[in-house]
Structure 1
């Protein structure tokens, strides 16, 4: 229970801040781009550190890393709550993302150690993964209520009692066998630098500052290429050699980034575009968040009956349709039904794709690489969220006097590209365990 609650706390923090954006802009005297960085730095730090944190948990012990992550997350949340300036809030949000990265892989390792029997372990991990939908659903609603009661700082203060409850529930040490793994800092630092510079380039392009945007893009490409070379030569690479040429797994990573891009666009942009209160913004997202919380149970049955690829394709049909309807609703005001229908379709898109993605990615890799696949999938999802926060902030800011449809139309195009790659035939390596509905060429 404590382990799952910690995971809930981390994922809650990725969405709860969305409805606080207008309040933060007023309180800390910043603009849309500035408040956009509060999401960007969190997801950037989380994406950069996830795989490294998994290696650290293997080397130092999952229980130690988990406790350190929970304690640090609570302390960093308190620092965010009392940040007097936007600059300090960004620093503390980055620290928060680093401690969040310590919690996710260590919590999964603890569950795997607590449930050695494969069937029980599978059920426990499924429950752990399902919490992501509940956290996404609860974030905007809980955030709206907290801000209405006590202002935007309350969305950070709430993490402290949650962290204390987690520590109380997990006070008994959990012994997990450690694996001797080499730690390599350089690839992870290179990844962090690449993400930071690329995000800077995106924000500059959105503000039509083309010289720094082009320069930043070139530097990001150079850093990315250099990081790839360093990673390949590293004794502990971010991407294991067994996964480098696995096209099916990399396609799943790309899909994860696309889904999180679209989801972050909706959660980040709706409160800014609707110009409503925090509670109103949270309530307006309910058609999506309720579906995200409840539909994964149905998705699990679809995966069992037809394989993971069918719900992934269904999700990539629903998502761009929903985003297009949201764009219409923000252009033609007074269309709550169209907005609600668009959000409902986006909820179906998220809840069909994400649960199926995890199973698809893991099933197409060697069992020994399952941990790396899970870490990389989470990392690429956060990369998608990072880019979405940057793009949405600059498009909303640049089109402040317009309808607000731009970020949703861009996300719809991105999701359409995801759909194209999902329907194009792929060569999938033989999987150790085939599900019902899968052929030798892969899941339908």
Structure 2
């Protein structure tokens, strides 16, 4: 191959990687961009806090329920085909969200949006593996892809606030259409991938989805104090959970591989991921509702936290490489509950902007120290042939944490409108982080000692790596 041909091939590869990363950015942006739109949604669609809570939770709920399924489909049908269907579907459904005449239509479209997002994320990893067959270059490409998550987290509230300030909440979804067009243009030429004759067991996936839905309904009804429905939905959730676990154990293609079922260290890391996303979502969901500011002001208010989430994981990666993951995990679970307590105090007294900024800075440190390290911890304690499954389950448990957090915050903040305790959602998140700190102190250090740079690169930054090819 001539030098010019080699340069041209590298450029094409880089262009496609940019397209894949843009699709990932778009998917993650939608997990946070709607947060600052909550007051505008309430006024525009004549709904309440519970209604906008569902607008948030239904996206993360369907995303969590379908992530593992999306990975299986990418293996079975080909990552490129699943990726392109996901991207085009995401763009089209985003426009449908923007045109939604009422809350019911918006919820249906947001649920469908989560399904397309669950196709994009795992398929992206398969495409990167095809573009970069050499392990070193693949690790660097995955690191760049995963770093997009922090940028999306930082940009979501600010970009959302700016767009909503221009023309209301619908613009938040319209912006996905041109991004989709750019992704299709950059990735229009087929990207090499592989297909595997992989079995898919549908019942566990269906059980997970319906269980998350009934759990969210249980929390919502608890906020409304409809105790008969709470008992009914709670019982259904319990039955679905037990039944799904039993079916999954006997499944030919289980959600949880047998090698991970009794691995206490890995499940501890999954719990940490759920707790961190629970606390993060609590902050992002509650702040715009409680401060009574414009969407732009809400986005700017969250910047002390979101900028650290975007930038600090690079330093955390060095900490993990030098000291192993346990130290930054403990640092994060120390900073986060303090940050939540300070934030709750500042929100209760809206004349405390400096105190609020300090609280959000501490929350940002808690997230950005903990998330990259806990993924490395899980990978270190998992069998080598199960690291891909660890990435998928970890991201699923994180989205489950986010879903429950939005439901709990909307239920508790409904009480705030009638004089309830504004600190309630922060208090619950603080308790979970304190439990996380206790378990981190008691947890065994990494079995592998200090993880290699490549291992951290492929499994850190947002827990975003769903599966490795």
Identify whether the pair has TM-score above 0.5, normalized to the shorter chain.
yes
Counting only pairs closer than 5 Å after superposition, residues 41-52 of structure 1 correspond to structure 2 as 41-52=58-69
Look up the match of 1:158: 175
Look up the match of 1:333: 350
Look up the match of 2:310: 293
The answer to whether the 8 Å contact 2:53/2:407 transfers is yes
Alpha-carbon distance in 1 for matches of 2:71, 2:20: 15
For the residue of structure 2 that corresponds to 1:171, the secondary structure is: coil
The answer to whether the 8 Å contact 1:307/1:435 transfers is no
Look up the match of 1:262: 279
Counting only pairs closer than 5 Å after superposition, residues 182-221 of structure 1 correspond to structure 2 as 182-221=199-238
Aligned length: 435
Choose which of 374, 378, 382 in structure 1 pairs with 2:391: 374
Note if 1:94 corresponds to 2:117. no
Alpha-carbon distance in 1 for matches of 2:238, 2:281: 24
Alpha-carbon distance in 2 for matches of 1:8, 1:281: 21
Alpha-carbon distance in 2 for matches of 1:368, 1:410: 36
Choose which of 139, 148, 154 in structure 2 pairs with 1:137: 154
Choose which of 9, 13, 20 in structure 2 pairs with 1:3: 20
Structure 1 stretch 201-210 or stretch 137-146: which is displaced more?
201-210
Look up the match of 1:119: 136
Structure 2 alignment gaps of length 5 or more: 1-17, 454-469
Alpha-carbon distance in 2 for matches of 1:392, 1:40: 11
Look up the match of 1:410: 428
Look up the match of 2:406: 389
Instruction: Return the TM-score normalized by structure 2.
Output: 0.91
Look up the match of 2:31: 14
Alpha-carbon distance in 1 for matches of 2:51, 2:415: 13
The answer to whether the 8 Å contact 2:221/2:227 transfers is yes
Choose which of 344, 349, 354 in structure 1 pairs with 2:371: 354
Do the aligned partners of residues 432 and 302 (structure 1) sit closer, same or farther apart at CA in structure 2, a change above 3 Å counting? Answer: closer
Q: Shift of the alpha carbon at 1:183?
A: 1.1
The alignment's C-alpha RMSD in Å is: 1.4
The answer to whether the 8 Å contact 1:248/1:427 transfers is no
Look up the match of 1:274: 291
Structure 1 stretch 140-149 or stretch 178-187: which is displaced more?
178-187
Choose which of 434, 439, 449 in structure 2 pairs with 1:421: 439
Look up the match of 1:398: 415
The answer to whether the 8 Å contact 1:133/1:351 transfers is no
Look up the match of 1:36: 53
Do the aligned partners of residues 285 and 434 (structure 1) sit closer, same or farther apart at CA in structure 2, a change above 3 Å counting? Answer: closer
Instruction: Return the TM-score normalized by structure 1.
Output: 0.96
Deviations 1:129-160 (A, max 9, x none): 22111101000000000000111100000011
Structure 1 alignment gaps of length 5 or more: 437-444
Alpha-carbon distance in 2 for matches of 1:34, 1:260: 21
For the residue of structure 1 that corresponds to 2:195, the secondary structure is: coil
Deviations 1:208-242 (A, max 9, x none): 11111122111101100000011111111000111
Q: Shift of the alpha carbon at 1:357?
A: 2.0
Task: Spell out structure 1 runs of 4+ moving beyond 6 A.
Answer: none
Look up the match of 2:456: none
Alpha-carbon distance in 2 for matches of 1:353, 1:6: 25
